[in-house]
């Protein structure tokens, strides 16, 4: 069904561009914020790995917080995809100005690794989410369960 809707939309836009003077632009953007989140399972063992060992393996975290008595390290990468279409029709012969329409869609996905360390600096638990629609802190402190 999506393919038909997209094909119909593109067909209408091409027809409009042929019949009316003007231009159509279509832009696809991809942005990446943060480093790739890698989960070395054999090096991050719950109940064994220390805070210092985790930092030496993964490097500096993107976010640090204190949750209760535990320290939380968050490694996160955001991937943004955007599609944008713009149609412009000059109306200089009829009026001073032009007609312009634009539309866009954006999709953001987050890869997050969260490491919780107890007061002794030992890894108490870890979570990994790939392709989440929200950053880790938003899901951690959300009222929805």
Task: Evaluate if residue 5 carries a pLDDT over 60.
Answer: no
Kindly state the average pLDDT of the residues 83-95: 71
Decide which of 22 and 46 is more confident. 46
- Chain centroid offset of residue 70 CA: 27
Q: What is the pTM of this model?
A: 0.64
State the pLDDT at residue 139.
65
State the pLDDT at residue 21.
65
Q: Which residues contact 78 (CB under 8 A, 6 or more apart)?
A: 31, 32, 33, 34, 108, 109, 110, 135
Kindly state the average pLDDT of the residues 122-136: 86
Task: Evaluate if residue 53 carries a pLDDT over 90.
Answer: yes
State the pLDDT at residue 52.
93
Kindly state the average pLDDT of the residues 79-99: 74
Residue 136 and residue 128 in contact, taking contact as beta carbons nearer than 8 Å: no
Decide which of 81 and 6 is more confident. 81
Kindly state the average pLDDT of the residues 95-103: 72
At 22, the pLDDT band (50, 70, 90 cuts) reads: low
What are the helix and strand counts (H, E) for the chain?
3, 5
Phi, psi of 60 (to 5 degrees): -70, 135
């Amino acid at each position: 069904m999506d393919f038909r809707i997209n094909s119909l939309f593109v067909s209408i836009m091409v027809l409009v561009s042929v019949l009316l003077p003007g231009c159509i632009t279509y832009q696809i953007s991809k942005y990446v914020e943060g480093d790739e989140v890698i989960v070395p399972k054999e090096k991050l063992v719950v109940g064994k790995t220390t805070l210092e060992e985790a930092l030496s393996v993964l490097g500096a975290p993107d976010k640090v917080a204190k949750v209760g008595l535990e320290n939380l390290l968050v490694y996160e990468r955001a991937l943004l995809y955007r599609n944008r279409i713009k149609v412009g029709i000059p109306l200089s012969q009829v009026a001073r100005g032009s007609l312009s329409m634009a539309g866009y869609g954006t999709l953001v996905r987050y890869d997050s690794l969260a490491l919780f360390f107890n007061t002794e600096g030992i890894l108490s638990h870890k979570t990994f989410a790939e392709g989440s629609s929200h950053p880790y802190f938003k899901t951690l402190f959300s009222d929805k369960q």
